[in-house]
Amino acid sequence: YYSYHAIHNLYGETFIDYNPQWQDLVINSSYTKKVDGTIVMTPENAFVETLPEFAENAPAHNGLIRLVVVHTGLEPGCTAYLDYTIISKPGYLPELDIITPVEYGSPVTELTVSITVPQEKHLRYSFSKTGPEPAVRTSTGKTTYLWTLKNLETASSDPGDYKKALFTASTFESEESAFAFLTSQFTKVEEIDSTIMASIEAKGSENGKMMSVSRFLRERFSIVPIPLEAAGYRFRSIGDILKSAYVTTDEREMVRCALLNAVGVKAEVVPVYSCEPVGLGSISRLRTDAVSEKGISSFERKFSTKLKYFIF
């Protein structure tokens, strides 16, 4: 730390998000080395469990944890050390699948990414910006891929710029097989209650039916911005969703698609990728595309210089 601004505004705390239903967090070490060499261990009361803001209005996701690590003993010239491990439990995902930023709010001198997989597994990976080729080492039935990135650029501080450089890696055979893990959970037409269909009142043209479904979703549910990764790449059942007053943005698209097909409008859910398709981590969100009399329609916000309109 070189300034009080870094201590009080930038790096006085570290935030670690994880899902305890599927993950365990282990703090290996946490301490501060002061200028004179004194070691200040992080006390127990400096590890504070909170609920991520995006899950505040979603009871089904109130088990998510954001651990706030408050760094202590800070002064200009000191160094804070934090080493932790997040262990995913068996059954979390059918394959290895990760996404991590490779740009941060401050420049990074060196970043090392190491992934070890069984030798028979093929690792697919991608950088959203140019990245180095890995050093590959095979030993005792395992293959280790090692990337070393140096002098990383600083990510934009503009709150409207979300395009940080990302690294994704997965042992899914293809992006299609990864997406199939999501589609296997999608709501089916026969799972929709007849009383729900009656409340939609979808009659007339295909365009009218599409508007009726959008109106039903808009009036019935509030939206909570739970990211796919935070939700464990899982969706609630249609029954649980309809018992609540909210949906995640991705659950909404799943339900929208099922309702559209139920009223006779052919529709499908498609993935929207944040970078080159590799696995689940590459999917930033889901989108419903419907094939109507006027062609393919996507249910997304749309903007023009003279008119702003949206369908939800």
**pLDDT of 157-210, one tens digit each?**
665 555 678 899 999 999 999 999 999 999 888 888 887 887 787 677 888 888
pLDDT of 162: 54
Token readout for 77 is: 């010239």
Low-confidence stretches of the chain (pLDDT beneath 50): 302-312
Token readout for 142 is: 């395992």
pLDDT of 293: 59
pLDDT of 184: 95
pLDDT of 130: 76
Question: 85 φ, ψ to 5°?
Answer: -130, 135
User: What's the CA gap between 296 and 291, in Å, rounded?
Assistant: 4
Q: Which residues pair with 223 in a beta bridge?
A: 247
Q: Which strand (E) or helix (H) includes residue 261?
A: helix 249-262
Alpha-carbon distances of 258 from 21, 27, 164, 181, 255, rounded to whole Å: 28, 43, 34, 17, 5
pTM of the entire predicted model: 0.85
Provide the 8-state DSSP code for 233.
T
Other Cβ atoms within 10 Å of 191 Cβ, number: 12
Q: Which residue has the tokens 């710029």?
A: 161
pLDDT of 304: 37
pLDDT of 309: 39
